[in-house]
Amino acid sequence: MSECSHDCSTCSANCSSREQTKEDFLVKPHKKSNIKKVIGVVSGKGGVGKSLVTSLLASNMKKEGYNVGILDADITGPSIPKIFGVSGNVYATKEGAYPKSSKGGVDIMSINLLLDDDTKPVVWRGPVIAGAVGQFWTDIIWEDIDYMFVDMPPGTGDVPLTVFQTLPVDGIVIVASPQELVSMIVEKAVHMANMMNVKVLGLVENMSYIECPDCGKKINVFGESHVDEIAEKYNLDVLANIPIDPEIAEKCDKGEIEDLNKNYVDKAIEKLKEL
Ligand SMILES: Nc1ncnc2c1ncn2[C@@H]1O[C@H](COP(=O)(O)OP(=O)(O)OP(=O)(O)O)[C@@H](O)[C@H]1O
């Protein structure tokens, strides 16, 4: 264009000099949804307690009086419904489907709430899985959500890429166990967030230590923690050090995570409230 001001945000022309911005890739949620903040919970590897951390953040924010949702983007390994004791199918109308509410009022959407038999595996290719996650955003009616937590599958594959590109992610929390902190797995997650211009809110170290039930002494089962080193290297906050706690495992297994009364993620909650 001859009179180009180079301000693409005020011009709708589809010309060759238009630069695509991050906003161009964002996908709108359902027209009846009202979602204020989106927080991704990620990990470099599976089984480090990412779903547990998502659940603790969500249930504690709910207890603080916020309206909270969880979008379970871990399609091949969904564990959120089990941790919250939520089962059965979601309610759907022609207009869209509604998430299921937990006992404590956390709105949940997960592939397991669509399957007739939640023991059957989801054997889909990456783009189909990423498409399903997209539909949890566009076709689910999230009526009034202050904080939406997205439980991401482990690693840096299709789904995190889709979520980072198409959802307005306000920040991510990276979960790691002590072993990941000595390898470059956590650093890969930090680099991915930086490449995608997504803010890292901080690190959560899970299974940091165990506390002797008799004398209260903390034992670092996996050796000295390296979380502070990594945090310093990338200028990040350490949001929590969660111990191996048999009560956590028990509450997860019974679907009663909302009944856990421990202050493990208090610092993370304060950080989220500041967003
Ligand atoms: N700090 C802990 N203390 C005791 N048990 C824990 C702790 N963290 C996790 N667990 C147990 O490990 C199980 C697996 O954790 P979780 O599902 O959160 O891992 P994940 O990283 O989301 O796994 P995946 O990436 O494979 O989905 C939980 O259901 C819980 O029973």
Looking at ligand 1, which atom is closest to the CA of residue 247?
4
pLDDT (mean) for 227-252: 94
The predicted structure's pLDDT at residue 138: 96
| Residue 46: Cβ within 10 Å count | 12
The predicted structure's pLDDT at residue 58: 98
Confidence grade of residue 2 (pLDDT, cut at 50, 70, 90): low
Task: Flag whether pLDDT at 77 surpasses 90.
Answer: no
DSSP state of 10: G
Euclidean distance between CA atoms 102 and 92, whole angstroms = 17
The predicted structure's pLDDT at residue 271: 97
Task: Flag whether pLDDT at 4 surpasses 80.
Answer: no
- Residue of 53, 54, 79 to mutate, ligand 1, most atoms within 8 A of C-beta: 79
Confidence grade of residue 91 (pLDDT, cut at 50, 70, 90): very high
DSSP state of 259: G
Q: Which of 71, 68, 107, 65 is nearest to 86 (CA)?
A: 107
- Give the rounded percent of residues in the chain with a pLDDT score beyond 90: 68
Confidence grade of residue 25 (pLDDT, cut at 50, 70, 90): confident
pLDDT (mean) for 150-160: 89
Mean pLDDT, the chain, rounded, equals 90
Q: Which of 264, 274, 201 is nearest to 231 (CA)?
A: 201
Q: What does pTM read for this prediction? A: 0.91
From 149-153, 154-158, 199-203, the region with the lowest mean pLDDT: 154-158
Task: Flag whether pLDDT at 43 surpasses 80.
Answer: yes
Q: Ligand 1 in contact with 244 (CB < 6 A)?
A: yes
Q: Ligand 1 in contact with 44 (CB < 6 A)?
A: no
Q: Ligand 1 in contact with 252 (CB < 6 A)?
A: yes
Looking at ligand 1, which atom is closest to the CA of residue 253?
31
At 7, which amino acid appears? D
Confidence grade of residue 10 (pLDDT, cut at 50, 70, 90): low
Q: Ligand 1 in contact with 198 (CB < 6 A)?
A: no
From 18-32, 40-54, 105-119, 145-159, the region with the lowest mean pLDDT: 18-32
Residue 45 labeled ligand binder? yes
- Residue of 51, 57, 177, 208 to mutate, ligand 1, most atoms within 8 A of C-beta: 51
Confidence grade of residue 119 (pLDDT, cut at 50, 70, 90): confident
Looking at ligand 1, which atom is closest to the CA of residue 55?
18
The predicted structure's pLDDT at residue 180: 74
Q: Ligand 1 in contact with 51 (CB < 6 A)?
A: yes
- What residues does 205 pair with on adjacent strands? 176, 241
Give, in words, the CATH class of 31-274.
alpha beta
Helices 126-138, 158-166: crossing angle, 10 deg rounding = 30
Residue 255 labeled ligand binder? no
Contacts of 163 (CB under 8 A, 6+ apart): 40, 73, 133, 150, 152, 169
pLDDT (mean) for 205-229: 91
Residue 47 labeled ligand binder? yes
- CA of 50 from ligand 1 middle (Å) equals 7
The predicted structure's pLDDT at residue 134: 93
Confidence grade of residue 17 (pLDDT, cut at 50, 70, 90): low
The predicted structure's pLDDT at residue 249: 97
Euclidean distance between CA atoms 247 and 261, whole angstroms = 10
Looking at ligand 1, which atom is closest to the CA of residue 45?
25
Q: Ligand 1 in contact with 47 (CB < 6 A)?
A: yes
Residue 50 labeled ligand binder? yes
Q: Which of 149, 242, 238 is nearest to 202 (CA)?
A: 238
Confidence grade of residue 132 (pLDDT, cut at 50, 70, 90): very high
CA torsion sign for 53, 54, 56, 57 is: positive
The predicted structure's pLDDT at residue 275: 93
Q: Ligand 1 in contact with 255 (CB < 6 A)?
A: no
Looking at ligand 1, which atom is closest to the CA of residue 245?
3
